[in-house]
Amino acid sequence: MYLPFRKYIDEYSGDTMTDDEFALVKAAFTPKKIRKKQYLLQEGDVCKHLSFIIKGAMRQYTVDEKGNEHIVRFGIENWWMADRESFEFSTPTIYYIDALEDTELLQVSLANLTELKQTFPGMNKLTLALDKRGHIAAQKRITAAISLTAEEKYQNLFKIHPIFFQRFPQAMIASYLGISPETLSRIRKNSILK
């Protein structure tokens, strides 16, 4: 179970860790399983853990006054899930996170992560790289959101994350794109890409 995780860390920290270092990592993380539809986080909670997805899929979303869900992020194998703001600053979150499939996680608390970063520099490099990538990805998504039509948003997502379309219900993808499920259905009917 930990093997792909070890590989993942090596890849993103740009280094090969020793067995001793990996022992530190293992000690800092706790495995957790959650079933499909279960919540990992609910509005008002403080996000206590950063979770690495070993297997499964999750989504992070808000619920507006009308009760509509707006999916902000999906997560699959080798992605991290957390509300960064709530996790870093211990403030109540406005998001929900739940499982779209039965999911296995490795979780680390802020305290353990902070300590791990000090004892194992690779972990520091990893979180740096993640922040950088996250920031760049977020910037791209903003650009898409303000400058593309519904159809272009669809095509863009299809290009960037085709896996989403194999893995998630179309209505959720519509929510992620900020368009209605009916509109996405009609766009797909007229689009070459499917």
Partner DNA sequence: TTTTATGCTTGATAAATATCAAGTGTATTT
Partner DNA sequence: AAATACACTTGATATTTATCAAGCATAAAA
Whose structure tokens read 């993103």? 12
Q: Is 111 in the site for a second copy (CB under 8 A)?
A: no
State CA 128 to chain mean position distance: 16
Contact status, residue 95 vs residue 72, Cβ threshold 8 Å = yes
Alpha helices per DSSP H over the chain: 3-13, 19-28, 84-89, 110-119, 121-147, 150-160, 162-167, 170-177, 181-190
Q: Does 129 bind DNA (CB under 7 A)?
A: no
Binding mask 115-154 for a second copy (x = CB under 8 A): -------------x--xx-xxx-xx-xxx-xxx-------
- Which member of 33, 35, 37, 70 binds a second copy (CB under 8 A)? 70
Of the candidate spans 12-20, 27-35, 42-50, 170-178, the one that interacts with a second copy by CB under 8 A turns out to be 170-178
Whole-Å CA distances, 141 to 77, 90, 168: 21, 26, 19
Residue 2, Cβ neighbours under 10 Å: how many?
Answer: 14
The reply to whether 177 sits near a second copy by the rule CB under 8 A is yes
Of residues 48 through 87, those in contact with DNA by CB under 7 A are none
Binding site for a second copy (CB under 8 A): 62, 64, 68, 70-72, 84-85, 88, 128, 131-132, 134-136, 138-139, 141-143, 145-147, 175-178
Binding site for DNA (CB under 7 A): 149-151, 169-171, 178-186, 188-189
